A and B are shown apart, each in its own frame.
Chain A
Amino acid sequence: MSVMEGRTTSALLYLDGVHVSFDGFHAINNLSLTLEPGEMRAIIGPNGAGKTTMMDIITGKTKPDEGTVLFDGMIDLTRLDETHIAELGIGRKFQKPTVFESQTIEDNLLLALNVDHSVKGTLFWRGSRDESERIDRVLETIRLTDARNRLAGSLSHGQKQWLEIGMLLAQDPKLLLVDEPVAGMTDVETHQTAELLKEINKEKTVMVVEHDMTFVRELGVKVTCLHEGTVLAEGTIDQVSSNERVIEVYLGR
């Protein structure tokens, strides 16, 4: 690991020796993982492996009992709250799509834009050309332009997933954490989502959790397999899926 001035790692995201337990149950066990700037990483692992919990730790929802979590080599994420971490440029899509159901799709994106988020700023907010253009572009990307004035609650499950990815785009973060983006999508939609994430990855660092192996294969990136809160295997999808321990975990003992 290279030591740079002021920073201990070149990685954008650096987790080392992280432990979390819930009432004595060790959800995350000595987890170490690094993500280089510009990288896209796929995370796989059986149910309950701790994938979502890992994202909770990175985004400040869960505080680890032990371990280091650094963003950009020097920012200790374990000391910050969700709002602060979001402001640093870490965006997140939830496993269960969470959009603001009683508001329009356009308003969902408007809320996600990374502009002034202070009370005063929003109270006296007046839209700008730049903002509406950005919203238009995101709507285009997620193919919801025609539905812009519909309530987000009326969208299908797959469309909600896309809207949430759109919100991530509007947020314009440095690092995107995407939890199970293709759950509930058709094959075509899954393929489109893979294309979209690859497109996003041209500019941003992305971490994707997914169970769908065809999708992971299509992404064609380095894969990390988690099991019982720790890294079981890391490498290309072929390396990981032929790893004996991984097969054992997936097939059950």
Chain B
Amino acid sequence: MTPHILTRSLDRSATVFLVVVAGLGVLIPLSNLLLPSGSALQVPTYLVALFGKYACYAILALSIDLIWGYCGILSLGHGAFFALGGYAMGMYLMRQIGSRGVYGNPILPDFMVFLNYPALPWYWHGFDMFWFAALMVVLVPGLLAFCFGWLAFRSRVTGVYLSIITQAMTYALLLAFFRNDFGFGGNNGLTDFKDILGFNVQADGTRAALFALSCLALIVAFLICRAVVTSKLGKVLIAIRDAESRTRFLGYRVESYKLFVFTLSACMAGVAGALYVPQVGIINPSEYAPGNSIEAVIWVAVGGRGTLVGAALGAVVVNYAKTYFTSGPLAPYWLFMLGALFILVTLLLPKGIVGTFNAWRESRKATEKANAESAALEDGVGEPKPAE
């Protein structure tokens, strides 16, 4: 990327965001690994894994904000791309188990032995190689998004209808992945991972590295999003969001733009899912649940759509609340609280946390400027007016 793109895409909040994420990405692993366990400043391993999960959610939130906040495409099925990336990584991790599984089969994962698979299904080939799996992490969600988007955007499916078919898409995948004969471990999904690139997935060092990588991925995803939204293409996206048909009459091929961001966004969601799986140690069909995708949209709404930083922040804040409440006596009420949060934000903070903060800062700047101007005027006349 040229320096031009960098300078253009970094405003103050973007810089603060990057510094914070990079700082945490370095300090948390260091504290976990170097400080004696039990010391006040040492971040325990379970927290490292938890924060790693938040970082992955933040990437998913960014990917949703890119299409929803900037282009008006409300996908209620983005969890599907996240889960597909997760499954691709899960398949790699399954193949790494090798003969250490319960049944000791060097090729077939345990669930296949159990279900009497005669041989590895064709679509499992290649996943023993990390580079191949990494490619699939991006390619599979990207390809699905491309095909889905090509059909939907060309037929000009928009608004609620688009949201509904994205829900249908993730639901269809949920049902498919539940099936034992689909070849992805059915109901139980993929789990009991042993190592990743030769490192034990349970080890502190691996967890710290995965966390740092998740932060790095978050930074890269953020920079890509910023580069996109601050380019002229970003202006076209906003134009499409605000007045789609006007944009067509100016000679823009709206469906190509939507297809581009939708596919890019799905690839990012796939990467988030792939980083998520080794940190939580399992991927199963519940990741496709329509509710998950809706939750992710709520994070973005809470943080502030169309702000990127807000989306990431929303993901962390809401998930922190979720962790907090679902581990206490309020656990059964979490979904109600989430719903209430969504309604409250929609009614009271329609711009979300960051959007509201930005608006407040701008209005303060405007009044300061007005005050300064009127003060200058008064100076000319004589007595300065006392500040309000």
Contacts and interface: CB of A to CB of B under 8 A. Distances in A.
Nearest to B236: A122
Contacts of B246: 94, 98-100
Contacts of A61: 245
Nearest to A98: B246
B257 A119 contact: yes
A203 interface: no
A117 B235 contact: no
Interface string A71-89: 0000000000111001100
Interface in B190-241: 228, 231-233, 235-236, 238-239
Contact of B232 (A83, A91, A98, A122): A122
A125 B231 contact: yes
A230 interface: no
Contact of A119 (B233, B235, B245, B247): B233
B231 A103 contact: no
A239 to B, nearest CB: 33
A181 to B, nearest CB: 16
Size bin of chain A's contact surface: 20 to 34
Contact of B252 (A101, A117, A125): A117
Contacts of B260: 119
A122 B233 contact: yes
Contact of A100 (B238, B249, B251, B254): B238
A126 B232 CA distance: 8
A118 interface: yes
Interface string A139-174: 000000000000000000000000000010001000
Interface in A97-140: 98-103, 107, 110-112, 114, 117-119, 122-126
Contact of B238 (A82, A103, A110, A112): A103
A193 interface: no
Given A83-B248, A86-B248, A119-B260, A100 B242 contact: yes
B34 interface: no
B367 interface: no
B12 interface: no
A227 interface: no
Please classify the interface of chain B as helix (H, G, I), strand (E, B), loop, or mixed, using the class held by over half of its residues: helix
Nearest to A127: B232
Given A82-B249, A111-B250, A117-B251, A122 B231 contact: yes
A59 interface: yes
Contact of B243 (A87, A100, A112, A122): A100
A51 interface: no
Size bin of chain B's contact surface: 20 to 34
Contacts of B232: 110-111, 122-123, 125
B125 interface: no
Contacts of B4: 126
B363 interface: no
Contact of B250 (A107, A119, A124, A171): A171
A197 to B, nearest CB: 19
B253 A117 contact: yes
Contacts of A125: 231-233
Contacts of A171: 250-251
B256 interface: yes
Nearest to A59: B249
Contacts of A41: none
A88 to B, nearest CB: 9
A117 B251 CA distance: 7
Contacts of A19: none
B226 to A, nearest CB: 13
A82 B231 contact: no
A228 B242 CA distance: 33
Contacts of A119: 233, 253, 256-257, 260
B251 A123 contact: no
A100 B239 contact: yes
Nearest to B255: A83
26 contacts: A82-B245, A82-B248, A82-B249, A83-B252, A83-B253, A86-B249, A86-B250, A86-B251, A91-B249, A98-B243, A100-B238, A100-B239, A101-B242, A102-B242, A103-B242, A110-B232, A111-B236, A114-B251, A117-B250, A117-B253, A119-B256, A122-B232, A123-B231, A124-B231, A125-B231, A126-B4
Closest 3 pairs (CB-CB, A-B):
A86-B251, A125-B232, A82-B248
Given A119-B233, A122-B232, A122-B235, 9 more contacts: A83-B248, A83-B251, A83-B254, A86-B249, A86-B251, A99-B246, A103-B235, A103-B238, A117-B250
